[in-house]
Copies of this chain bind each other. A is one copy, B any other.
Amino acid sequence: MPGHEFFTTLTVAQALHGFRPTRRTAAETVALADALHRVPAEAVTATTALPGFARATVDGFAVRAADTYGVSDGQPGYLDVNGTVAMGRAPTVAVVPGTAVAVPTGGALPQGADAVVMVEHTQEAMPGTIEVVHPVAPGDGMVRADEDAAPGALLAPSGRPLRPHDLGLLAAAGVTGVSVWARPVVGILSTGDEVVPPGTATLLPGQVRDATAFALAALVTEHGGTPQVRGIVPDDAPALDVALREAVATCDLVVVSAGSSVGARDETASVVSGLGAPGIFCHGLAIRPGKPTLLAECGGVPLIGLPGHPLSALVVFRLVGLPVLHRLGGCVAPPPEPRVRARLSRQVASAAGRLDVVQVRLSSGASVDAEPILGHSALLSLLAGADGYVMVPEAATGLAAGTEVMVTLYR
């Protein structure tokens, strides 16, 4: 039973600030239909005006606004109807003084028109002539040819994942492909003599199925990466060395769920330190659960050694791994996490200088209550029963029952 823990322990904030690998994935072009949540590598701008022609926004009559000045219910104006604009067609007649052209919502304005009178503000005076009973100003009842986008206008910024309506605007602008950052490939390696594949039907005494790899893979997928589950390596330094070298050579980020014992962790650290410069950034985070976390960069590839307990591993990967994943994939504006204010239903203990991540279950009555789910970080079921988590900051030595907290919700 060897072992002393030797940590260079940083706070999570220090780690997030200092551990910022510069690696980026390559840009690639994807079809617009496949671009949901992808991150544009460069801003997408309009090449032509949108909608491209002045368009009616009401059903009515295209007119010269000046022809309607001063009209009212008592003193209607009279306009001759020159024709009708068909949807999707170029107008075949123009509006000249004293005339109007019927136009449906979305129809193109004829030449000479600068406004559209709503059909509700007109009536037929005699066949071919309408009464206008409300004046319009230029621009009423229409949008300009470049009102949705002028040539060169920003349609989607770089670095922000594309949202459903972004795809709509790009489709409107005729953009059929988008240059996006490739999804970061995240190699996920499990270690431990006790760990067996999830598909193992019957466990031998002392064995556990690999829970962390599946959960990490799902987190990676959810946040725009491509998980590459690379299997289970026994607690054996040469085997781990080979597996990590292969992973670092082909992945954008490597995540190792280290063995849970001190010995296994020491072994992982010593293998990682042999993998290449600049090497280990920190070995230990001031967080609970999750202290035995290793952050390293090997030949330009970030590597995260996660704690052995699945719960701890997932807490740390959310807080420290996802920001790295987003950076690798060029995402400078990650989607917001759902959060809700709630009152702690009972006290939570903590230690100063350490960030505590507490799983909570919400219940709604007069206010939203957050009930801490206590239990050992070896228990993955704590997460399954949780609606979200509360962070007890480093400066606090616990939170009293009734404290208003911000709960980050799982989705």
Contacts and interface: CB of A to CB of B under 8 A. Distances in A.
Interface of A: 1, 3, 32-33, 36-37, 50-53, 55, 57, 59-61, 84-91, 102, 104-108, 119, 143, 147-149, 153, 155-156, 161, 163-174, 176, 192-196, 198-201, 203-219, 221-222, 235, 259-264, 308, 310-311, 314, 335-340, 375-376, 378-381, 383-384, 409-411
Contacts of A222: 36-37, 164
Given A51-B378, A87-B259, 16 more contacts: A1-B84, A1-B104, A1-B119, A51-B208, A59-B261, A88-B206, A104-B260, A106-B261, A106-B308, A155-B381, A168-B383, A169-B211, A172-B198, A336-B409, A338-B338, A339-B339
Contacts of A90: 204-206
A201 B106 CA distance: 20
A222 B198 CA distance: 28
Contacts of A155: 381, 384
Given A167-B214, A168-B310, A411 B336 contact: yes
B168 A215 contact: yes
A381 B155 CA distance: 7
Contacts of A91: 205-206
Contact of A57 (B86, B165, B378): B378
B376 A174 contact: no
Nearest to A217: B33
Interface of A is mostly: loop
A244 B253 CA distance: 48
A378 B192 contact: no
B53 A205 contact: yes
B411 A206 contact: no
B308 A215 contact: no
A104 B265 CA distance: 12
24 contacts: A3-B59, A52-B203, A87-B192, A87-B264, A88-B193, A88-B195, A91-B206, A104-B260, A105-B261, A106-B192, A106-B194, A106-B208, A106-B378, A107-B194, A147-B379, A148-B378, A155-B384, A161-B411, A165-B314, A171-B213, A172-B198, A172-B310, A174-B198, A339-B339
Given A88-B195, A119-B1, A53 B206 contact: yes
Contacts of A195: 88
Contacts of A215: 164-165, 167-168, 171
B169 A384 contact: yes
Q: Which 7 A-B pairs have the closest CB atoms?
A: A168-B215, A88-B194, A335-B411, A90-B205, A104-B261, A164-B218, A172-B211
Contacts of A167: 214-215, 217-218
Nearest to A334: B411
Contacts of A55: 378
A374 B340 CA distance: 28
A77 B264 CA distance: 29
Given A168-B211, A169-B383, A261-B59, A36 B106 contact: no
A241 to B, nearest CB: 19
Given A119-B1, A163-B410, A215-B167, A384 B156 contact: yes
Nearest to A194: B88
A237 to B, nearest CB: 15
B262 A59 contact: yes
Counting chain B CB atoms within 10 Å of each CB, the highest count among A53, A85, A156, A200 belongs to A53
Contact of A378 (B33, B119, B143, B173): B143
A214 B162 CA distance: 12
A57 B379 CA distance: 10
Contacts of A221: 36
Given A86-B193, A384-B156, A201 B174 contact: yes
